[in-house]
Amino acid sequence: MKNILKNAENTERLLKLTSDTMIILDKNGICIDIAIYNVDLWFMKEDKLLGKNLLSLIPPSTYAQIYPEFHKVLTHKTRSVRNYEMTLGNTTYFFKCIMYPFDGMVLCQYRDITERSLRKLELERKNQELNEIQKAALIGNWLYSSDTKTFTYSGHTDILSTEQVQETSLDDYLKLILPEDRKSFTNWLKDNLQGNLENSIDYRICFQEHIYYTRLKTFAREYDKDKNIILEGYVQNITDIQQRRNDINLLTHAINNSTEDIYSVHEDGTLIFGNRCFKERHGIGDTQDITKLKIYDLPSYGRDEKSWKEFAESVKRGDTAQGYIVHNPLPLCPEVLAIEGNAYWVTSDKGEGTVWTFGRDVTSRIRHEQQVKRFNRILDKIIENLPAGIVVKDISNNFKYIYRNRESYNRGIKMTEALGKDDFDFYPLETAKRKREQDIKIAETGKEMHWTAEEHDINGKSIYLDKRKMKIESSEFSPILLSIEWDITEMERMKRELLVAKEKAEASDQLKSAFLANMSHEIRTPLNAIVGFSRIIAESTDADERLNYYEIVAVNNERLLQLINEILDLSKIEAGIVEFTITPVRLHSLCKEIYDAHVFRCPQGVELIYESSDEGIVIDGDKNRLFQVVSNLIGNAFKFTTNGKISYGYHREGDYVVFHVNDTGSGIAADKLDRIFERFVKVNTFAQGTGLGLSICKTIIERMGGNISVSSEIGKGTTFTFILPLTAPQKEGEVQEDSEERVPESGKGMEHDNDSTTTSKENGECLPKKKEVPHSSVPTILVAEDTHSNYVLIKAILGSTYHLEHAQDGMEAVTMFEKIRPDLIFMDMKMPNLGGLDATRIIRELSPDIPIIALTAYAYEHDRQAALDAGCNEFLTKPFVQEILKDTVKKWLK
């Protein structure tokens, strides 16, 4: 049996089983003999090859590979073993050819390796694809030996791995891992060495001063012959993935903490997502599954199913992508006036359409806009009713009108007709040219013009006008030209007719200027608080703080409205257009109403006393006007009485009733009593008001057939007395007034200096206390301001950044400056005891470097120049803008 392989009878059989095809070629390449084994190819047939020149039959590319080897075997009698590629038709074949020298010929052993070669090429292609995938995915391979405790790795992680195999010890690798991740890494490695290969691990390494996130996974565990444990796996650089995840988490956190409503909804109304603000507004709990809710089923949502579908369809069309506003959108939250937002149609990865909505509560803005419109209307009314013609022109737009109330000599031009037109549209050519020359001169030089001119009214009568033209510039708007004209016809005629009246006319002109300046001051003072606290209300998130600031705004609104009412009352009463409602008035009931309205406004330490008399007295008069007069006198006494009492009452003397209002206040100097009832006269120039109050009272009393007088003694008090007849005289042409005549609001008194403006809540006790920064760590600002609400406003704006001290008059400002040595001073110009200009001069002598900022309601150019001449560094007017106030402080405190 052992000679089976050597037995000649088995030779052919063994060759068929194990041998390759054998071919003998002569020196020219002609096939002499062929024995085909283990090949079944169409071209490898004996009848096709025997006797043929095989070298001429093979393709040129294959011939170029085979012939050199064929020639070498013939010449050098050596063996050749090589693999070859041959393309016949559309098919490529791979074969191994072993050539032997054989009796001057060449014996070729042919072995077909096509299938193996194709598999090898496919494997190489797969390896190349895998290599590219590893590059794209930042993946590498690694081995770990428990015996040597070393990592061997290669790949494309862009951290440590490269295409070249590298090796590092476990200790060195642990040094690269961040300390807080090392323990979890070593625990994971221990689990894998024990056979637990299920989990991967994510950790961070610090390499070349950068932090990278790395993921390691084991996919094979083996023992070698020495029982050494070999772990094999992949490593991936997941830094970009982790950073994107962190970005998503950050974005989610930002969305959740947004003050806007952010939510997404399927087209059918099913909620997908809602941020924290949306959930809180609609009463959805954090643990509640939002995807089970329909947006239109929420009781706090303002749309029903039909309205929602219409809205979603409009979003799908792109109608609302640019924004929308829904008024009163939340039935359960009526305090929300409107929601403004944007909605977008987004198609999800699943192809589903969704609506994404971003909405914000614009209630504060709407209320602020309403308030601004209200104030603008009030100011328009003030300007319309001022006894002056005011024209504003746009210099940059060829001097076209942008505002005008009237002109004394051409009252037929309406505001709506004048806008966008110029002087050439309304005046004769020569007049228009003259006006244009003046306008151009003022625009070019910036110098104000002031002159008196004779014009003619629409009836051709001569009138005399006091005219001013000035240029107003600002970085916030294009330059404008302001024209103000006063009709001084009567004054000029009296001046020309009566030289002896010259002094009185000049005094009247001075009163007019003082009235203008005082009006500017009195309007700006409450506006300063209104504008300033309105801005703070809009920015504040504390409800109590907003409520208290709103009270300050309300009080200053009241002050501003009272100012307007006084001006209108005086003009109407003196013009005889105010109608008095004469009815029987029971004085006891009236006085009780006055007491109830004022007792709670009585200053601390002062007692209000109603001295009751005959309760049956009834007089003919206007109850509302009587209420106004007594209330004004009591309110006036409130301002000048700090302790003691204020008493009022009445008694009958024949056919008359004598009323009195007595206080224990500071009193009025004897040389000022004679002028106390004149218009625009303010005995105390530091008190707020226009100087109209007592003039109005005097006019009302006289219109009802009575008279009013005053007696006073400095330091002891003042008594106002007025007398009215029991039966009011019927004046010719007088008309009964509607019974709904406004009763002045309680507490709106007037002061001894002919002012009826009410005092505001300036004790500051009801205001929230702002948290101030430590005194030692920040600059100190001294605020010299006699109006406490203005100080509170400045403190509300600057108190969180700077330390503020308050001086209530100029004298206190000088004393406090020497005591605390502040870094900056805000100086009001109009203060009792010592004015702002004098206080500035004194402080400037003590310190030439301290920044002093004038902050005043006086806004004319001469006021500004006076402040700068006194030593102020800058001049700011009330109402001021928060940003300008802050920037000014930063500028001078650097």
Superfamily name and number for 8-112: PAS domain (3.30.450.20)
Backbone phi, psi, residue 464, to 5°? -115, 130
**Is there a contact between 157 and 235 (Cβ–Cβ < 8 Å)?**
yes
Domain 132-244: homologous superfamily in CATH = PAS domain (3.30.450.20)
Residue 458 or 658, more confident: 658
Res 661: pLDDT: 94
pLDDT digits (tens, 9 = 90+) for 164-185: 788 889 999 899 999 999 999 9
pLDDT above 70: percentage of residues in the chain:
84
Per-residue CA distances from 385 to 380, 381, 567 (Å): 9, 6, 9
Whether residue 145 contacts residue 168, with contact meaning beta carbons closer than 8 Å, is answered with: no
Residue 813 banded pLDDT, cuts 50, 70, 90: very high
Residue 741 has pLDDT above 90, yes or no: no
**E strands, 79-164, in order:** 80-88, 91-102, 105-112, 139-145, 150-155
pLDDT at 619 over 50: yes
Cβ count within 10 A of residue 161: 22
Structure tokens at 396: 């940059």
Would you state the CATH architecture of domain 574-725? 2-Layer Sandwich (3.30)
d(CA 530, CA 514): 24
Q: Do residues 407 and 485 make contact, with C-beta atoms less than 8 angstroms apart?
A: yes
User: Confidence band (pLDDT; 50, 70, 90) for 26?
Assistant: very high
pLDDT at 463: 82
| Cα 275 from Cα 284, distance rounded (Å) | 10
- Reported as a pLDDT band with limits 50, 70 and 90, residue 113 is confident
Question: What does the pLDDT read at residue 416?
Answer: 65
Contact 765, 773 (CB under 8 A): no
At 703, the amino acid letter reads R
355, pLDDT greater than 50: yes
Whether 612 shows a pLDDT value over 90: the answer reads no
pLDDT tens per residue across span 388-411: 778 888 988 888 888 877 654 555
pLDDT tens-digit map of 481-510? 988 888 788 777 787 777 765 666 566 666
Range of weakest confidence among 327-331, 339-343, 811-815: 327-331
Q: What pLDDT sits at residue 756?
A: 40
Beta bridge pairs of residue 145: 150, 230
What is the rounded average pLDDT of the residues 344-356? 82
Mean pLDDT of 440-461: 84
Q: What's the whole-model pTM score?
A: 0.31
Q: What is residue 757's predicted lDDT score, i.e. its pLDDT?
A: 37
Q: How far is Cα 556 from Cα 525, in angstroms, rounded to an integer?
A: 8
Q: Which helix (H) or strand (E) holds 326?
A: strand 324-327
In the chain, the percentage of residues whose pLDDT exceeds 90 is 23
The set of residues, in sequence order, having a beta carbon less than 8 Å from that of 767 and lying 6+ positions away, is: 548, 549, 552, 792
Residue 661: how many other CB atoms lie within 10 Å: 23
Highest mean pLDDT: which range of 217-221, 495-499, 570-574, 802-806: 802-806
- pLDDT reading at 99 higher than 90: yes
**Does residue 822 register a pLDDT over 90?**
yes
Between vectors from CA 213 to CA 208 and to CA 214, what angle results, nearest 5°?
100
For residue 151, pLDDT beyond 60: yes
In this prediction, residue 650 has a pLDDT band, given cuts at 50, 70 and 90, of very high
Q: Does the 384-488 domain belong in CATH 3.30.450.20?
A: yes
Question: 252 is written with which tokens?
Answer: 């989610």
Over residues 251-280, the pLDDT tens digits come to 778 888 888 888 888 888 899 888 888 888
- Sorting pLDDT into bands at 50, 70 and 90, what band is 576? low
Q: Which pair of tokens denotes residue 825?
A: 């001073």
**How do strand 261-266 and strand 271-274 relate by DSSP bridges?**
antiparallel
Residue 877 has pLDDT above 70, yes or no: yes
Q: Which residue has the higher pLDDT, 443 or 377?
A: 443
Q: What share of the chain is helix, strand, coil (3-state, %, to 5)?
A: 40, 25, 30
758 has a pLDDT exceeding 60: no
Residue 159 vs residue 654, higher pLDDT: 654
Query: Which residues fall within 8 angstroms of residue 172, CB to CB, at 6 or more apart?
Result: none
Specify whether the CB–CB gap between 271 and 294 falls below 8 A.
yes
**Fold of domain 775-893:** Rossmann fold (3.40.50)
CA distance 274 to 292: 12
- Angle, CA 228 vertex, CA 227 and CA 234 arms, to 5°: 135
Intrachain domains 384-488 and 574-725 with the same fold: no
* Confidence category of residue 591, pLDDT binned at 50, 70, 90: very high
Q: Are 430 and 437 in contact (CB under 8 A)?
A: no
On the question of pLDDT at 287 being above 90, the answer is no
Q: Where are the domains of the chain?
A: 8-112, 132-244, 271-361, 384-488, 574-725, 775-893
What mean pLDDT, rounded, does the chain reach? 81
Collect all residues with Cβ–Cβ distance below 8 Å to 579 and sequence separation of at least 6: 734, 735, 736, 737, 738
Confidence of residue 841 (pLDDT cuts 50, 70, 90): very high
Residue type, 308: W
Cα 571 to chain centroid, rounded: 44
Given pLDDT bands bounded at 50, 70 and 90, which one contains residue 570? low
Six token digits for residue 610: 């109603």
Q: How far apart are CA 505 and CA 49, in angstroms?
A: 141
Poorest-pLDDT segment among 4-13, 50-59, 143-152, 276-285 = 4-13
pLDDT tens sequence across 377-387: 787 777 777 76
Burial 810-834 (b: 16+ CB within 10 A, else e): bbbbbebbeeeebbbbbbbbbbeeb
**Cβ atoms within 10 Å, residue 617:** 15
CA distance 553 to 574: 32
Predicted pLDDT at 651: 92
Sequential DSSP letters for 184-203: HHHHHHHHHHTT--S--EEE
pLDDT digits (tens, 9 = 90+) for 115-127: 888 888 888 788 7
Residue 358: strand pairing partners? 262, 342
Cβ(462)–Cβ(487) below 8 Å:
no
Q: Any idea what DSSP says for residue 44?
A: -
Assigned token pair, 165? 């195999």
Determine the Cα–Cα distance for residues 698 and 712; give it in Å rounded to an integer: 17
